[in-house]
Amino acid sequence: MASCSPSAAVELGAVGGVGSKVDAQLQDAVRLKTEGNACYREKRIRAAIGRYHRALLVLRGLDSDVTAAVQGFGPQMPTTTPKQEELLRSTQVDCYNNLAACLLQRECVDYARVQEYSLRVLQWRAGDIKALYRAGVAALELGDAQTARHYLSQASRGQPNDPNVRRYLQRAEERLSSDYQREKALYKGMFAKQKDEAGEGGVDSGVTQK
């Protein structure tokens, strides 16, 4: 079992050369993610968040989406093999997913950040149930019931019996229904007011005095 402390990483490639440097960075990121998972299980949420952020920082220098944007402005960035790219992306996705889970455990939840991290996961791993659920919860708490229903409905299709998904989906539906009724009453009141004003301010139908 991993502990919330530095640990040896599994060897990924041969010693020496650019390939081994990339492997070493990937090993470091995987180690940090594993330590973060251990911290999370130990309820050390702040420490877990720190590990995940450090892992993502290590991976940032290998991410082709990032390196392509800065190509030509500094040293040549190392290229990754398809296998390395797969591990890189998988580790990133896990870290963002786990960061969102950590933030939801905090006393004061930053729902905007939860949504941001969950959407990053969905960008790379469309259909991820946990990310769909967390994106839906965050959207609902941020006041966007329509978007919340969109994500929670997708999560519900993947996990139809999950009580948390069902509960938040029901809350989103209730919020939308409440918003609809409130909007309906508002428009009804506006039309009634316009009708009353038109009746009071109409053309005088009385006899013209000469």
Q: ∠ at Cα 174 (172, 175), nearest 5°?
A: 65
Q: ∠ at Cα 82 (80, 85), nearest 5°?
A: 60
Do residues 125 and 93 touch, judged by C-beta distance below 8 A?
A: yes
For residue 100, the domain's CATH number is 1.20.58
Instruction: Of 103, 104, 95, 100, give the one whose Cα is nearest residue 118.
Output: 100
Amino acid identity of residue 107, one-letter, is E
The C-alpha atoms of residue 119 and residue 96 are separated, in whole angstroms, by: 9
pLDDT tens track for 91-137? 999 999 999 999 999 999 999 999 999 999 999 999 999 999 999 99
pLDDT for residue 180: 74
Q: ∠ at Cα 121 (46, 12), nearest 5°?
A: 80
Do residues 87 and 31 touch, judged by C-beta distance below 8 A?
A: no
Please indicate, yes or no, whether residues 16 and 31 belong to a single structural domain of this protein. yes
Q: What is this structure's pTM?
A: 0.76
Q: What is the tally of structural domains in the chain?
A: 2
Q: Assess if residue 200 is contained within a domain.
A: no
Average pLDDT (11-39) is 81
Q: Assess if residue 174 is contained within a domain.
A: yes
Please indicate, yes or no, whether residues 122 and 171 belong to a single structural domain of this protein. yes
Please indicate, yes or no, whether residues 16 and 98 belong to a single structural domain of this protein. yes
pLDDT tens track for 61-76? 887 665 444 455 545 5
Q: Assess if residue 157 is contained within a domain.
A: yes
The C-alpha atoms of residue 134 and residue 141 are separated, in whole angstroms, by: 11
Please indicate, yes or no, whether residues 92 and 133 belong to a single structural domain of this protein. no
* Host domain of residue 178: 111-190
Amino acid identity of residue 194, one-letter, is Q
CA dihedral 59, 65, 68, 70 (to 10 degrees): -60
Instruction: Name residues whose C-beta falls within 8 Å of residue 179's C-beta, 6 or more positions apart in sequence.
Output: 145
The C-alpha atoms of residue 78 and residue 56 are separated, in whole angstroms, by: 17
Distance, first Cα to last Cα, the chain: 103
